[in-house]
Amino acid sequence: MNAPSRINPSFSTLSLFIKFSHIVRYQDNWLENKTKTNYTLWNVYEGTVFIEINNQTFEASAGDSILFYPGDTYKAYCKENGCRFLFLLFALETENRLDFLSGKNLDGVYHAKELQDRCLKFCNEYVRSYHNKNTASLKFYSFCLSYLADLLELSSQCLHFRENAHSTQNLPINRILDYINRRFTEQIRMKDLAAYANMSEKYFIRYFRSYIKTSPKQYIIECRMKYAMELLASTDETLAAIAGKLGYSDQYSFSKAFRKYYNDSPSSFRKYGNHIP
């Protein structure tokens, strides 16, 4: 039995993972040749940064933002007076942990006037957060998410690094997640997932955990439990019917799994409302 189409690949929530952030200052002799392994945002605070990529040269000054995709190979440098910018390593994922930015043509330099003031405020917010971590970290996280939303909304004004979308959908982890999100109501065996990923079972489990920070089995349970909450909250179906839709052999097995995951029973959840976080 396949999972409902609304769960794959649509999303109702987005998760922003800030892997690292820091403000760096470079002198006029700075030169960097790298290939990005993460989504990376540079917000230029002072000076001018030059980026050479795909046989083109881009220029970003104070108030501009530069978005790199994993796999972008570039040369970056500055000239007189040096430069300073905030760099942010991040991931933006759907509720099913699929890469939200993959397949979109968004990497490049953002010169939009509408963003320049917010870019500088972003940098200032980071400085405040850095010096007052206990009270400002949540504000900085919220500012990051809001700024990324503004950035993506103005993608038509971006000076793109390439003409066509730069997709990371061919990464094995994205294909594996898509496979699970379409079949989590079925009995999925680890050896079948490993074979689909063209990996040994032992390596597959280690590979999956390195990206998703949980085991494939636990991820499948998470998918089932999220779907269970939706069905309990939005339908009048019996627990036995819901158990069958989720791939459980009987109502008892489903109720046991639900209680273990949420520390509450399906009947209690349905009776008293959506009080489970």
Q: pLDDT by residue (tens digit) across 4-21?
A: 433 333 445 778 888 887
Lowest mean pLDDT segment, chosen from 55-59, 84-88, 188-192, 272-276: 272-276
Quick: pLDDT tens for 234-267.
Answer: 888 999 999 999 999 999 999 999 999 888 899 9
pLDDT category, 203, cuts 50, 70, 90? very high
CA–CA–CA angle 19, 24, 28 (5° rounding)? 145
pLDDT at position 66? 94
pLDDT at 169 over 60: no
pTM comes to 0.60
pLDDT at 1 over 60: no
Percent of all residues in the chain with a pLDDT value above 70, rounded to a whole number: 86
* Cis before 9? omega within 30: yes
User: Which long-range contacts does 128-131 make (Cβ < 8 Å, 24+ apart)?
Assistant: 130/23
